[in-house]
Amino acid sequence: MRQLSILVILFLLFSGCNHNPKIEFNKNKIFPEVKNLKEFSKTIFLPTLESEFSTKNNGIYAASFLLAWDEIKKIIADPIKNIDSEELSMIDKSDSYENVLSENEIIKKVEVHGLIIKAEAYFKKSLPFKIKLVRHRKPLFFRNDSVSTFGCYGANKTASIIYYNNDDDFAVKLSPANVEQEIILVKTNFADKINLKNSIENLSKYEANSWNYVFDDEDELKIPIIEFDIETNYTSIEGTSFSAGLRKFQFDTAYQRNAFILNEKGAEVESLTILHLRTLSLNQGKKSIPRKMIFNSPYLILLRKIDNKYPYFAMFVANSELMKKK
Mean pLDDT of all residues in 225-236: 93
Would you say residue 117 lies in a domain? Answer: yes
**Predicted confidence band at 29 (pLDDT cuts at 50, 70, 90)?**
confident
Would you say residue 324 lies in a domain? Answer: no
Q: Answer whether 280's CB lies under 8 Å from 266's CB.
A: no
| Lowest-pLDDT range of 2-16, 56-70, 225-239 | 2-16
- Tell me the pLDDT tens digit for each residue of 236-274: 999 999 999 889 999 999 999 999 888 999 988 899 999
What's the pLDDT at 219? 87
Would you say residue 91 lies in a domain? Answer: yes
pLDDT at 197 over 90: no
Would you say residue 96 lies in a domain? Answer: yes
Mean pLDDT of all residues in 115-136: 92
What's the pLDDT at 81? 93
What rounded mean pLDDT belongs to the chain? 81
Name residue 36's amino acid: N
| C-alpha–C-alpha distance, residues 173 and 310, integer Å | 79
Would you say residue 93 lies in a domain? Answer: yes
- For the chain, what is the domain count? 1
Would you say residue 149 lies in a domain? Answer: yes
| Lowest-pLDDT range of 45-59, 189-203, 283-297 | 283-297
Would you say residue 207 lies in a domain? Answer: yes
**Predicted confidence band at 99 (pLDDT cuts at 50, 70, 90)?**
confident
Whole-model pTM: value is 0.79
**Predicted confidence band at 284 (pLDDT cuts at 50, 70, 90)?**
very low
**Predicted confidence band at 298 (pLDDT cuts at 50, 70, 90)?**
low
Q: Which residue has the higher pLDDT, 186 or 205?
A: 186
Q: Answer whether 84's CB lies under 8 Å from 242's CB.
A: yes
Domain region containing 166: 32-283
**Predicted confidence band at 324 (pLDDT cuts at 50, 70, 90)?**
low
Cβ neighbours for 318, distance < 8 A, ≥ 6 positions apart:
298
Would you say residue 155 lies in a domain? Answer: yes
